[in-house]
Structure 1
Amino acid sequence: MENALSKLWDMYEQSKRNRTEDNLTNSFAVHKLTQEKIKLQASYDKLVGDVQALLDENERRAQMERKPDESKLQEKYDMVKNLTVSQASVIRNMKLKLAEEKTKLQAHIDELEKVVEQTKAKLNGIKAILDE
């Protein structure tokens, strides 16, 4: 009986160590993904700011250059229009990437929560055995 209890206690301690190691590994992974998400968000915010600054600058230039030849103005308008379309495409792509990262992070968090619940169930089983 004493050997069995000792063996159960060793199993409990090993389970506890394994759970701690798993939690540490998973927290590193979550931290890494969170840092990557922060970097992507900062990059996206910078891109949006740059696009807005470019549009403001182009609008200011267009106002200053309204007096020149109308064909030159039309060319510049077309250039700004094309640039805006391409920048909108880039912004949409960044939003999609951020949404995908968010989905991945949520899935990883859900997985970690499942592992925690499974570990709690195992510990409760071991405690029940020890209490008997």
Structure 2
Amino acid sequence: MPSWPNSNETSDNDDEYMREFSSMQMEYFQTPDTVIDPSFCGLVTESDRRCILHRQSAGKFVAFEGTDTGRRFIGCATEDGVNCGVLEWVDAPRPVILQRCLSKLWDMYHEQNLGRAQDNEAHGIEVAKLQKELDSLANQYSQLVDDVSKLFDYQDGIKSHDMDCTSQAINELKEKKKQLEDQAKIELQMEKLKLKKEQRCILQSQADIIQNTRKAMKELEVEKDLLKEEKKKLENVIAELLKVGHGCKEKLDKIKEVVMEE
């Protein structure tokens, strides 16, 4: 765990801290994601200790990642403080059972996000394909318009029937282009609606994780209270047994004295 030197220490102590900092393994220098908790936030004002890397005051954070979800810790308050790692854990590690539950919940969360990302990628490919077809049709339409214009210039005396056929072909192409454009707009609108729905699902998943974590912590507290009650009962039983044992010993001693006197 990185050290926190006092701001009034000498330069020799600073060199010692820097040597200690250089010898640390890089696995410690990764701050977990955090969640806002109004009851534990802001800068640490109780002491004048500062981050070794940035010489800035420490901040209060609550972890929101992996088996450490919900644990409070002290970390660097700078924007790039993610590379400073967790400087000090305020709460003790979670019980093993709760860690397994948190790990399972986060695995399910990441698995769902991966599935949504794959679906979004597939939808993106389909939309790109439709857009490419739409561009190709627009190019064909433009080329046809140019060809028709040249044809009008070259054959000014074409029969009205042929002109009608050409106009009909142009109108059909315009109608087809309009249909494809409308279809592409609908596809894009549906894609936006799907993305909004997925975002709501992600936010709901995060809320469920927080709620389940709090519920598991409350259950652990209840079990802890029950164990305390059982311990008190056991201590009372042992005390009663010890009292009974002492009383029997005194009676035996008196009987022994009577026998010896006789």
Q: TM exceeds 0.5?
A: yes
Per the alignment, residue 190 of structure 2 pairs with 100
Using the alignment, how far apart are the partners of 1:117 and 1:64 within structure 2? 71
The residue number in structure 2 matching 1:125 is 214
Percentage of pairs with the same residue: 16
Match of 1:87 in 2: 177
Aligned to 1:58: 148
Greater strand fraction, Structure 1 or Structure 2? 2
Q: 1:128 to 1:97 in 2, by over 3 A?
A: same
1:111, distance to aligned residue in structure 2 (A): 2.7
Separation (CA, whole Å) in 1 of partners of 2:167 and 2:211: 67
Alignment of 1:24 onto 2:114: yes
Q: CA deviation at 1:40?
A: 2.0
Q: Report the CA distance shift for 1:94/1:55 in structure 2 as closer, same or farther (over 3 A).
A: farther
1:7 paired residue among 97, 105, 120:
97
In terms of fraction of residues, the more helix-rich structure is 1
* Contact 1:41–1:98 (8 Å) recurs in 2: no
- For residue 44 of structure 1, what is the amino acid of its counterpart? L
Contact 2:134 2:181 in 1 (8 A): yes
Aligned to 2:26: none
TM superposition shift of 1:46: 2.0
Which 10-residue stretch deviates more, 44-53 or 84-93? 84-93
Segments of 5+ residues of structure 2 without an aligned counterpart are 1-93, 222-262
Asked if structure 2 preserves the Cα contact closer than 8 Å seen for 1:37 and 1:98, the reply is yes
Task: Give unpaired runs (5+ residues) of structure 1.
Answer: none
Give 1 or 2 for the bigger CA radius of gyration.
Answer: 2
Shift of 1:75: 4.0
Change (3 A) 1:114 1:31: farther
